Structure 1
């Protein structure tokens, strides 16, 4: 079964069909895949992180033991009742794809533990993928493709996320903010959360375009963009010099942190697209990298990985928040963040 229309997907995520034992959620936008995976996992078991009811596997587990997935699907819950087996595929290797497909077919046919639910989250599975074919054809299984959000989807995400924090945007401000957001949902959600912090959670503010101007600002000056690139390239002295130059040009610490966050977002989007099958050069272009900076950007993209970038993201958010505290040494905060990033880059060989 294929679920490709939004109403059908949302209905299924709210109330999964009783006859479905296995679901494959896949697509280029890993943020959407993860969101839908989390939503479905929460409907299958009370606590998706409970080690007694949930088994979490990756490509590496299948490479190490080809029978591990079927073994987990055959096992009974230690606490009794429903069991969730959650597999995350992040590589495009054929081995794990084939192993997962074979296990899905057996499980969907009822050959393993009928109380187990198989949830697989993957990148962009093409039409030749054995796993994708199996999920589309097998009774008792479903395939959910995920595409990049349309502007209307992004606007809804912004409204719903801000509403949970008791703030909002008027129609003009919403259109302005959505137009500036990156397409990849994971990066976009970070920017929305940053906006909620800026507006003040629980304040009831309904912001206008004028309210957003200090937050969005303009594209960072060349010195800030260069400083961010130097930091991610492991060139600390150059990054610090760029930040000092930007300060002399009137760019404060929050603008420097924002430039670093934007650069991290470009790297993250490029690596996400590359993991989904695009070439790094195509991914760089799609991430808005100017051709003159492409060579250096590609050099960095070959060394950084999504796990490292995800570990950096909270530090960027913390620096952004700290810069906006009254009396905070914002320039020092930005320089310390650049030092952290450059040090990580150097350890990775950049």
Structure 2
């Protein structure tokens, strides 16, 4: 079953049909795919890290041991509640595609644990994909394609996100901001978060084009951005120096982690676009890379493949939580994160 129109997709994500046991999200916008998959997954269980009710598999897991998928879908909950099986696909291997298609068809018909929910995240799947065909045909499954947001959707998302933090933009400023945003949902949300911090969360302020230009005009080689660039470029010394310079300028560790996530998101975007056939310069532009950094970002993207970026994303998420909740010195948390990334980069030969 295909869900294509935004209202019906939104309704399904908010209150999924109990008869649906499998959902396939696919598209070039991997952040949009992941965001929608998480929304649906949280209707099954609020804790996506629950070791008893949640199983997370990758295409490598399924390729190396096909039985793991069936075992996960057959397993019953030990602690009560529904089981959630999440599958994240990367390279789109034909064998994995067929194995998932067969499992989805059986599970959608109730052949495994009928109380389990199967949620699959994939890149853009062609019409020849067996998995895509299976999700389209099965009555107990949905197929949701995630495309880049249109300008109207981006404007709406921006207004809603700003309103949630009690800040806003005038109509002219909103048009200017949306025009400068990269068309990838994860990067857009990070840029909106930066804008909220600039205006002042909870301040009730709305700013116009002139004040917005002060925010947009910040040089991309500012200390935090430069620290992230140096870290992913496998240069620990300059990364550490840039980070300490930013702290001396009054920047926060939380913002340092967010800028690191923003840089990671751009590398991820470049990888995905090139994998889908885009040229290097085209991919860099679409990812919102400043022209002065284009050569370095493309060099980094060649070294940092998607599976490595997924591992770093886990470290970034952990640092983000730790810097806000643990009471540990947050500047040391951010510094350790950048040094860890630089060390990984060196091992990749950057």
Output the CA distance in 2 between the equivalents of 1:86 and 1:190. 24
Output the CA distance in 1 between the equivalents of 2:239 and 2:216. 22
Residues 192 and 100 of structure 1, relative CA distance in 2, 3 Å threshold: same
Output the CA distance in 2 between the equivalents of 1:38 and 1:221. 33
Residue matched to 2:349: 349
Residues 92 and 285 of structure 1, relative CA distance in 2, 3 Å threshold: farther
Output the CA distance in 2 between the equivalents of 1:31 and 1:94. 23
Residues 204 and 37 of structure 1, relative CA distance in 2, 3 Å threshold: same
Output the CA distance in 1 between the equivalents of 2:217 and 2:320. 17
TM-aligned CA deviation for residue 29 of structure 1: 0.6
TM-aligned CA deviation for residue 314 of structure 1: 7.2
Output the CA distance in 1 between the equivalents of 2:310 and 2:62. 20
Residue matched to 1:332: none
Residue matched to 2:204: 204
Unpaired segments ≥5 residues, structure 1: 244-251, 319-334
Matched, 1:122 2:122: yes
Residue matched to 2:103: 103
TM-aligned CA deviation for residue 241 of structure 1: 11
Output the CA distance in 2 between the equivalents of 1:185 and 1:98. 29
TM-aligned CA deviation for residue 60 of structure 1: 2.3
Residues 197 and 129 of structure 1, relative CA distance in 2, 3 Å threshold: same
Residues 157 and 228 of structure 1, relative CA distance in 2, 3 Å threshold: same
TM-aligned CA deviation for residue 317 of structure 1: 9.1
Kindly report the root-mean-square deviation, in angstroms, between the aligned alpha carbons of the 2 structures: 3.9
User: What's the TM-score, normalizing by structure 2?
Assistant: 0.78
Output the CA distance in 1 between the equivalents of 2:319 and 2:82. 39
Matches within 5 A, 1:286-305: 286-287=286-287, 297-304=297-304, 305=308
Residues 133 and 218 of structure 1, relative CA distance in 2, 3 Å threshold: same
Output the CA distance in 2 between the equivalents of 1:274 and 1:158. 27
Output the CA distance in 1 between the equivalents of 2:166 and 2:289. 35
Residue matched to 2:10: 10
Matched length = 330
SS of 2:159's equivalent? helix
The structure number with the bigger radius of gyration is: 1
TM-aligned CA deviation for residue 205 of structure 1: 1.2
The answer to whether the 8 Å contact 2:316/2:337 transfers is no
Aligned counterpart in structure 2 of residue 310 of structure 1, from 297, 313, 323: 313
TM-aligned CA deviation for residue 62 of structure 1: 0.7
Residues 174 and 295 of structure 1, relative CA distance in 2, 3 Å threshold: closer
Matched, 1:169 2:169: yes
The answer to whether the 8 Å contact 2:312/2:341 transfers is no
TM-aligned CA deviation for residue 340 of structure 1: 7.6
User: What's the TM-score, normalizing by structure 1?
Assistant: 0.78
Residue matched to 2:331: none
Residue matched to 2:214: 214
SS of 1:302's equivalent? helix
The answer to whether the 8 Å contact 2:20/2:141 transfers is yes
Residues 101 and 47 of structure 1, relative CA distance in 2, 3 Å threshold: same
The answer to whether the 8 Å contact 1:194/1:317 transfers is no
Output the CA distance in 1 between the equivalents of 2:272 and 2:132. 19
TM-aligned CA deviation for residue 128 of structure 1: 1.3
TM-aligned CA deviation for residue 50 of structure 1: 2.2
Output the CA distance in 2 between the equivalents of 1:177 and 1:90. 32
Residue matched to 2:43: 43
TM-aligned CA deviation for residue 191 of structure 1: 1.2
TM-aligned CA deviation for residue 120 of structure 1: 0.8
SS of 1:18's equivalent? coil
TM-aligned CA deviation for residue 349 of structure 1: 1.1
SS of 1:143's equivalent? strand
TM-aligned CA deviation for residue 51 of structure 1: 2.2
Output the CA distance in 2 between the equivalents of 1:192 and 1:112. 42
Output the CA distance in 1 between the equivalents of 2:318 and 2:84. 32
Output the CA distance in 2 between the equivalents of 1:220 and 1:82. 46
TM-aligned CA deviation for residue 39 of structure 1: 1.0
* Cα-to-partner distance string for 1:13-44 (whole Å, 9 max, x where unaligned): 11112221111011111111111111111222
Residue matched to 2:324: none
Unpaired segments ≥5 residues, structure 2: 244-248, 322-334
Residue matched to 1:132: 132
